[in-house]
Amino acid sequence: MTQPMKNLTPYPSHPMTKEYMDYINQRQETLSGLTRQENDARCTWLRHVLLVISTLFGILISLHNTSPHILFSRLCFSLSNILLAVGITGLLWVLYNYSAKNATGVRNAYRNELIAAYKEQREMAPAGTNISKSVLLVEKIAYGCIGTAFLLLAVFSLMAIF
């Protein structure tokens, strides 16, 4: 939680009023709360997806039948396990970026905007950080790997039936 800005001294030509400081503190709390809610929702979604995928991955590895199948069937199963592992690893990295690195960046951006608004005696502009393109790319790749793994598992299951 961020501390109220008590140490800052405004420019001498801009005296601060109590109403203005209340406005700044209220905006800071509102923006921090909204960003925290968005970040928590995204992290919760990723945790649930990771729980389901990791459980499926564990079941697939432990229950795999070692009876000989045709080569294509074994390749489908092996490739689906590899893709699930890559998807899990990618989503774990994305979750770390959303929960730890992004929260620090947002806090710093809010602090900098709050200081600037305080010193310039103006309303606070929206502040935040953008998710890096590499995180978005890894997230898309991870979801693609997981989706492809499910398709390969469906093919493997259909081949086992017929």
> pLDDT (tens digit, 9 = 90+) per residue, 101-158?
776 777 777 778 778 877 877 777 766 667 788 988 999 999 999 999 999 989 888 8
The one-letter amino acid at 52: V
Burial class (CB in 10 A: 0-12, 13-18, 19+), 53: buried
Residues 6+ positions from 153 with CB-CB distance below 8 Å: 60, 76, 77, 80
The one-letter amino acid at 40: D
Q: Are 24 and 117 in contact (CB under 8 A)?
A: yes
Q: Are 42 and 153 in contact (CB under 8 A)?
A: no
pTM > 0.75: no
How many C-beta atoms lie closer than 10 Å to residue 40's C-beta?
Answer: 13
Among left, alpha and beta (phi > 0; psi -120 to 50; other), residue 121 is left
pLDDT in tens, 44-88: 899 999 999 999 888 888 877 666 668 888 888 889 999 999 999
> Does the pLDDT value for residue 42 go beyond 80?
yes
Q: How far apart are CA 16 and CA 118, in angstroms?
A: 8
Res 98: pLDDT: 81
Q: Give the domain ranges of the chain.
A: 18-161
Res 11: pLDDT: 41
